[in-house]
Amino acid sequence: MKLRLIGTEAECAAAIVALAAGFELREVSGFYPNRGATVLGRVYVDAEPWQVHAGSGRPSTGRVRATTRRTDQHRREVPGDPNSPLDRTGDQS
């Protein structure tokens, strides 16, 4: 996973420390200042999410599969969808 952090040098350093708690940081670039009269800059990070082994509580660097669902749009009802809040027979679950 490639990440670009944008902020002050101190903010980027704090973000890297926070990321290290949940990601294996494979590579972290130096701070690249933005052009012009600004204190902002960029840091590029190559990271892999930690995966916790069930029962052991220890992190592993295995890949993690995630699913997402948009919450800013209404969900369309799909006939036969077992996750549908409205049963198509007319009963509400």
Backbone angles phi, psi at 18, to 5 degrees: -65, -40
Name the pTM for this structure.
Answer: 0.55
Do the beta carbons of residue 5 and residue 15 sit within 8 Å? yes
pLDDT in tens, 29-63: 999 999 999 999 999 999 988 775 555 555 555 55
Q: How far apart are CA 34 and CA 18, in angstroms?
A: 23
User: How do residues 61-81 score in pLDDT, each as one tens digit?
Assistant: 555 555 666 666 555 555 565
DSSP H/E element including 93? none
